Amino acid sequence: MIIVMNPKCSEREVKAVENELTKQGLGVNLSQGSTFCIIGVVGETRIIDPDKILSFDGVDKILKVEEPFKKANRLFKPEDTIVNVDGTLVGGNHLGIMAGPCSVESEEQIIEIAKSIKESGANFLRGGAFKPRTSPYSFQGLELEGLKLLKVAKKETGLPIVTEIMSTKYIDEFVNNVDVIQVGARNMQNFDLLKELGKTNKPILLKRGLSATIEEWLMSAEYIMAGGNENIILCERGIRTYETYTRNTLDLSAIPVIKKLSHLPVIVDPSHATGYWYLVEPLAKAAIAAGADGLMIEVHNNPQCALSDGQQSLKPALFDKVMKKVKVLAEIEGKTL
C-alpha cells in the first residue's frame, strides 16, 4: 500500500501518519522529492482502515500495490536508486563497468588485468575467489587467498572489488574485505544468504537466477531490502531457454522492464549470457542502448590458459576497443563513467 501525501504537506503531518502505521505494527518507507511525498507501507496492510488514514491532514490518496515486491517497487520510490560504493556511483546517469577474470588465479594475473581494465575505463575489478562450478572436479577458486589477491590489486589500482559469496559462513570476511558482494545466479534464491546480506550495509550485486522470472528476481532483492540493506545492483546474465547455441539467452527486455517496475540499478553481463567472447561486444553495446546502468565483462590476459571461462573472456585489447564504443553509446544515453 502507498499513501500519497500532498507534496506541500508538513513534516508534522508525515510524522503523524507514520506514527499511526508503526503503532499498528507496520513498516514505513518514506520517499520524498521536490514534487512528491510517498509513504510506502510494508507488512500486513489488510488491517489498515483506509478511511481513517484518509482523515489525516496532508493525505491525498491511497494506492494498492499489486506486486509482491514493495521496497524494490518504483511506486514506493519513484527516483532511481544510485548505489554509492565508496564514492563510485552506479545508477541514475552513472555507469558501473565491472571487468576482470572469471577466477582470480595469481597475484601477477589479477594485477596485470586490473591495471589494463582500469586503463580502458572500467571502474570496478571483478574476479571470482569462491567459484560455483558445475563439476566438483573443476577449479573451485583460490577462496580466501583469492580475496587477499583482490585486495592487493585494489591497492595497486584503486579499483573497488566485486566478488561472489557462496556461503553465509564467510559473511564477515566479505564485509571486511570486499566493496561489492556478488550473489551469483545459482544463489539468487538462497534465502538464508539473502537474509544475512540484508543485515549488512554492503552494496550487493544480485544476479538473475538461471531460470528466474523478473518477479522472482525482484523478490530476492526484496529479501535483502526487507533486512534493511537497500544498496542493490541487479545483474541480468542470461536465462535458460530451449536455445543451446549460446550458453544462455540474454533477456535484454528485462532492462526496460526492471526500469519500469523498480528503482534499483540494473547492469548486464554479456559474458555469462552468451558464453563466447565474440558475442560480448555486440551484446554489451545492445545492453547500454537498452538502458543498462553498466556491464560486467570477463577479461583475461591469457584466455587460452584461463582456469575458468576462457572461451568467453575478452583479451585486454578487445576490451579496450569495446569500451571506446560503450563510451560513445553511453553519451547518447546521457550516462557517464
**Pair type for strands 96-100 and 124-126:** parallel
C-alpha cell of residue 46: 489488510
Q: 3-state SS string over 12-58?
A: HHHHHHHHHHHHCCCEEEEEECCCCEEEEEECCHHHCCHHHHHCCCC
Residue placing its CB nearer to Mn ion in the complex, 91 or 316 = 316
Distance of alpha carbon 157 from alpha carbon 208, whole angstroms? 29
Which of Mn ion, ligand PEP, none does 132 bind, CB closer than 5 to 8 A by kind? ligand PEP
SS3 213: coil
- CB of 102: closest distance to ligand PEP in angstroms? 5
Select the binding partner of residue 293 from Mn ion, ligand PEP, none (C-beta < 5 to 8 A, by kind).
Answer: none
Q: Which CB atom, from 21 or from 98, has the smaller least distance to ligand PEP?
A: 98
Alpha-helix runs per DSSP H in 158-297: 171-177, 191-198, 214-226, 254-261, 270-274, 277-289
Q: Which does 184 bind (CB under 5 to 8 A by kind): ligand PEP, Mn ion, none?
A: ligand PEP
* Cell, residue 200: 549488512
CB of 210 to ligand PEP, least distance (A): 8
Smallest separation, CB 262 to ligand PEP (Å): 19
Minimum Å distance from CB 69 to ligand PEP?
21
Chain positions contacting Mn ion, by CB under 5 A: 102, 309
- Tell the smallest beta-carbon distance from residue 223 to Mn ion (Å): 24
Binding site for ligand PEP (CB under 6 A): 102, 128, 132, 164, 184-186, 207, 237, 269, 272
In eight-state DSSP terms, residue 312 is: G
- Which partner, Mn ion, ligand PEP, none, binds residue 281 by CB below 5 to 8 Å per kind? none
* Minimum separation from the CB atom of position 247 to ligand PEP (A): 9
Decide which of Mn ion, ligand PEP, none touches 70; Cβ closer than 5 to 8 Å per partner kind.
none
Of 72 and 125, which has the nearer Cβ to Mn ion?
125
Tell me whether residue 138 or residue 336 sits nearer to ligand PEP (CB atom).
Answer: 138
* Rg from Cα positions in the chain: 21
With CB cut-offs between 5 and 8 Å by kind, which of Mn ion, ligand PEP, none does residue 33 bind?
none
Q: Closest distance between Mn ion and the C-beta of residue 163, in Å?
A: 12
Q: How far apart are CA 5 and CA 251, in angstroms?
A: 37
Nearer to ligand PEP among residue 151 and residue 186 (C-beta): 186
Beta-strand pair 37-42/27-32 = antiparallel
Q: How far apart are CA 158 and CA 152, in angstroms?
A: 10
Q: Are 186 and 240 in contact (CB under 8 A)?
A: no
CB proximity list for 288: less than 8 A, separation 6 or greater? 95, 295, 326, 329, 330, 333, 335
- Tell which residue, 319, 315, 311, has the closest CA to residue 246: 311
Query: Considering beta carbons, is residue 71 or 247 the nearer one to ligand PEP?
Result: 247
Nearer to ligand PEP, 240 or 327 (CB): 240
